[in-house]
Copies of this chain bind each other. A is one copy, B any other.
Amino acid sequence: MSQSNQKKNWKNHLHEIIYEADTPAGKLFDLILLVIIIASIVLVMLESVKTIDAKYHDVLNTLEWGITIIFTIEYIARIITVKKPFKYIFSFYGIIDLLSTAPKYLSVIFAGTHALVALRALRLLRVFRILKLGRFLGASNNLVTALKASRAKISVFLFAVIILAVILGTIMYLVEGEENGFTNIPKSVYWCIVTLTTVGFGDIAPNTPLGQFIASLIMVLGYGIIAVPTGIVSAEYSNQTRNPIQPESIPTHTNNKKNINLNSQSCSNCLKSDHRDGAEYCYNCGEPLHNS
């Protein structure tokens, strides 16, 4: 076997570990990465707590450097093992990976920049890649389908809620006025959303009898309409999980095959994942898939 071939094998092997979750090595890699990501998020949180940061600044700083270096190595490995590196770099997760690695390096240059915390929080998004490939997929698959099916209806509903909030918020602004905390219409609309969604902070609350009467109507209304999205999802999900009658002549493959056929493997050329089991070529680019 030529050296080039060996190198390719080594690369393929690494690709399998990093990008696939079905092999034991791939699963271990994902698990370790998951732990490191969660640890890095906990770090970001702890650093934001003044008292902890004052005491353990050096420890937290060292750990952050360690995690940054691990992420850097992982980022380079991902670029090397993929066939089209630029496609990865400019993909959604490629950008997330870069942005969640960069902050510590940038903090050397722009010392004490507050906004870097936000970049570091982006690391959490990486969790989704791992879980998407993981075992939770099966459990949430039906759910995702139900949510997709009811997306349009829930959008219409939420849109109606927002229009309602604007109209009722304006009325409350006129009724309560600035002296009771409803200082302007956007704030009134904010209060109205707080009330309609039954959150009810209480930072602003109606004081006049008329205001409290309208608020009561808004609340009872909110109580009545909270039923709507629940009803939608409930009915859609119910339809997903159960087909009360399945005469043989109706093709039923749509329900069963999805869970059986799709695996977590991702194409080394175009990075598309969720190929069906036994697929030998990528459905997106025609690249042969390497099944161990």
Contacts and interface: CB of A to CB of B under 8 A. Distances in A.
Interface of A: 41, 44-45, 48-50, 114-115, 117-118, 121, 124-125, 127-128, 131, 136, 139-140, 142-143, 145-147, 149, 152-159, 161-163, 166-167, 170-171, 173-174, 183-187, 189-190, 193-203, 205, 209, 212-213, 215-216, 219-220, 222-224, 226-247, 249-255, 257-259, 261-262, 274-276, 279-288
A162 to B, nearest CB: 7
Contact of A200 (B131, B199, B284): B199
Given A183-B50, A286-B286, A241 B244 contact: no
B232 A143 contact: yes
Contacts of A187: 209, 212
21 contacts: A44-B170, A114-B174, A136-B156, A145-B258, A186-B212, A202-B205, A203-B205, A227-B234, A230-B230, A230-B231, A231-B234, A234-B238, A235-B240, A244-B245, A247-B249, A250-B251, A253-B274, A254-B255, A257-B274, A280-B283, A280-B285
Residue of A157, A163, A274, A283 with most chain B CB atoms under a 10 A cut-off: A283
